[in-house]
């Protein structure tokens, strides 16, 4: 410990030490990369102690999977590469779901994982497993440090792997004999760069293809942009919005792309995909999507949900696809390939469009705006009964209609997976500077609360709201204690309908019955919150919604709203529509 304190004093004196322990060298490298927080639970021990001495704050989660979800949201809100840490063995296995989500959804994270001493390899050491095999399917890069001489090199490689190209997880295994070594070694002071931001390297797509894409868009009869989460990760919001406004092209978004355009803009279609059924926000714009003749895909994986099982987008349209990952371009729709950073490529495309005759775009604008305006009115008319319902248990649409009025224009809005994402995507407007976080990489339950926590750590001044179901919340409600202990203040509404809603409704719609696991025991979430020292508010009548939201958003600490919701609330997913009259 004396060595750690000595390093701490040296750091605060403004100089970097020439000699340090291996753990201190880890900490110094992380500090050089601007790391302010590590989502961890004390392991690797010496590295955590050294980081603590340098002022890097450990956010001590209750379980590793939740810590990885916090890290994901931190990346999404900060534009920085977060660090999560875990002990070897069972703790390491709990990182797998979070890293898998980040890999599929393209979010960077560096994971520091304990490993057994190198001289214990293949001897059945305590909690020894093959971590390289464990993480190989859920990370871009997995390496093990085999020599103290390479510590700084491998830290830099981990950040490079996470932040470059298509962002994703990088895992660095830290054998205990290296991390626990208290001898002093030379610090690699020649490494000075901070590469903890993303996108780390930006490249523009081929110029000739950009010119060709501009011609397609200018000459099209019914062009459309379909924007995914890659545009948001690239920081391309202003470029998307300029293209929409100045070139008069309507814009639809995926769930992860929600927030890339203001949904009150007259050329905003809204979120599209598999939830364009009865009372869906974009139900009446499905013909516009299916009649498009040129579709520009931006940072869009064209996955199953975003294309309604590849039935939504027209087969006879021409496609232009911008993506940083060449394997995503043309994956499901053969396209004019614009492989590059979304922000730079969109800017170049806008410039190329400026040299085209955009008379078609401008002459069609009024008609497009009229179609979108009428579709919005039709949606409100169709959903009016549930958005104003005074029924108890509460209709979720009624709660969200009031929530939409209470959220600020710079609120961070987080959804858990499953129906929480469907409800938020359809019933909360992306306006102003509102930021939306959806776990749609692999769409697992339990991401909501931890993601809200990570968002708040990244943006402590902004208010954070989270919607989750009682099924997903039960995965992670232990993290309420973390909220209290770490002073992380978020508002979470729990849809308390005593069912695993998506599962039950899907089974009933498909098979006419459901498995017994879909029905849950009643849980008092107010009591759960209060047991952790967090405020809980029960809402079981629509006339309580407004006051509860006001109280929650004015509170100093975290708040759980226990929303007693209608278990028969059918979401706007077409195949579930059969249950409307059941």
pLDDT band at 1 (very low <50, low <70, confident <90, very high): very low
pLDDT higher than 60, residue 5: no
pLDDT higher than 80, residue 10: no
What pLDDT shows up at residue 122?
A: 86
What pTM did the predictor assign?
0.96
Cis ω before 159 (30° cut-off from 0): no
Q: Output the six-digit token pair for 163.
A: 């932040």
**Of 176, 335, 159, 346, which is closest to residue 251 (Cα–Cα)?**
346
Distance between CA 174 and CA 181 in Å, rounded?
12
pLDDT higher than 90, residue 3: no
Domains and CATH numbers, the chain: 2-186 (3.40.50.970), 207-374 (3.40.50.1220), 388-579 (3.40.50.970)
Q: Looking at residues 59-80, what average pLDDT do you find?
A: 98
What pLDDT shows up at residue 318?
A: 98
Enclosing H/E stretch for 242: helix 237-246
What pLDDT shows up at residue 65?
A: 97
pLDDT digits (tens, 9 = 90+) for 493-547: 999 999 999 999 999 999 999 999 999 999 999 999 999 999 999 999 999 999 9
pLDDT digits (tens, 9 = 90+) for 79-115: 999 999 999 999 999 999 999 999 999 999 999 999 9
Q: Looking at residues 399-409, what average pLDDT do you find?
A: 98
pLDDT higher than 80, residue 14: no
Q: What percent of the chain has pLDDT over 90?
A: 94
**Of 523, 527, 495, 506, which is closest to residue 577 (Cα–Cα)?**
506
pLDDT band at 190 (very low <50, low <70, confident <90, very high): confident
pLDDT band at 249 (very low <50, low <70, confident <90, very high): very high
For 144-205, what is the HEC assignment?
ECCCHHHHHHHHHHHHHHHHCCCCCEEEEEEEHHHHCCCCCEECCCCCCCCCCECCCCCCCC
Average pLDDT score, the chain: 96
């Amino acid at each position: 410990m004396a060595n750690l304190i000595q390093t701490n004093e040296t750091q605060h004196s403004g100089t970097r030490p020439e000699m340090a322990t291996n753990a201190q060298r880890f900490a110094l490298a992380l500090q050089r990369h601007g790391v302010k927080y590590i989502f961890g639970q004390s392991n690797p021990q010496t590295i955590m102690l050294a980081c603590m001495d340098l002022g890097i704050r450990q956010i001590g989660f209750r379980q590793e999977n939740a810590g990885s979800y916090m890290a994901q949201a931190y990346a999404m809100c900060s534009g920085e590469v977060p660090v999560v840490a875990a002990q070897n063995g069972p703790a390491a296995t709990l990182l797998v779901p979070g890293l898998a989500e980040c890999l599929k959804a393209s979010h960077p994270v560096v994971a520091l994982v304990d490993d057994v001493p190198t001289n214990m390899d293949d001897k059945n050491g305590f909690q020894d497993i093959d971590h390289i095999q464990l993480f190989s399917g859920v990370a871009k890069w997995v390496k093990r440090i085999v020599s103290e001489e390479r510590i700084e090199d491998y830290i830099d490689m981990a950040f490079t792997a996470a932040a470059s190209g298509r962002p994703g997880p990088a895992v660095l295994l830290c054998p205990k004999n290296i991390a626990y070594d208290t001898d002093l070694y030379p610090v690699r002071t020649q490494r000075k760069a901070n590469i903890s931001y993303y996108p780390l390297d930006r490249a523009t797509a081929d110029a000739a293809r950009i010119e060709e894409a501009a011609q397609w868009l200018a000459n099209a009869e019914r062009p459309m942009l379909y924007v995914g989460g890659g545009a948001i990760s690239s920081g391309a919001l202003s470029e998307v919005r300029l293209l929409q406004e100045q070139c008069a092209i309507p814009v639809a978004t995926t769930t992860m792309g929600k927030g890339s355009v203001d949904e009150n803009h007259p050329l905003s279609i809204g979120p599209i995909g598999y939830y364009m059924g009865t009372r869906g926000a974009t139900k009446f714009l499905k013909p516009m999507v299916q009649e498009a003749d040129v579709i520009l895909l931006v940072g869009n994986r064209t996955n199953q949900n975003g294309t309604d099982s590849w039935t939504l987008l027209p087969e006879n349209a021409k496609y232009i696809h911008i993506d940083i990952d060449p394997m995503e371009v043309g994956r499901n729709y053969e396209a004019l390939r614009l492989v590059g950073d979304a922000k730079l490529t969109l800017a170049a495309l806008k410039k190329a469009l400026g040299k085209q005759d955009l008379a078609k775009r401008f002459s069609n604008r009024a008609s497009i705006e009229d179609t979108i305006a009428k579709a919005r009115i039709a949606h409100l008319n169709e959903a009016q009964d549930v958005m104003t319902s005074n029924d108890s248990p509460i209709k979720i649409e009624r709660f969200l209609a009031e929530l939409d009025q209470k959220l600020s224009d710079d609120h961070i809005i987080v959804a858990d997976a499953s129906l929480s994402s469907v409800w938020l995507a359809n019933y909360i407007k992306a306006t102003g500077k509102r930021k939306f976080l959806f776990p749609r990489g692999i769409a697992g339950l339990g991401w909501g609360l931890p993601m809200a926590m990570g968002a708040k750590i990244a943006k402590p001044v902004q208010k954070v709201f989270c919607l989750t179901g009682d099924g997903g919340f039960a995965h992670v409600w232990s993290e309420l204690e973390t909220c209290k202990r770490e002073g992380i203040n978020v508002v979470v509404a729990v849809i308390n309908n005593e069912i695993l809603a998506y599962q039950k409704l899907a089974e009933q719609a498909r098979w006419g019955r459901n498995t017994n696991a879909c029905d849950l025991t009643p849980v008092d979430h107010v009591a759960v919150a209060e047991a952790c020292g967090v405020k809980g508010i029960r809402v079981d009548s629509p006339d309580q919604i407004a006051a509860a939201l006001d109280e929650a958003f004015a509170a100093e600490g975290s708040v759980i709203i226990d929303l007693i919701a209608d278990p028969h609330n059918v979401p706007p997913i077409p195949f579930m529509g059969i249950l409307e009259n059941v």
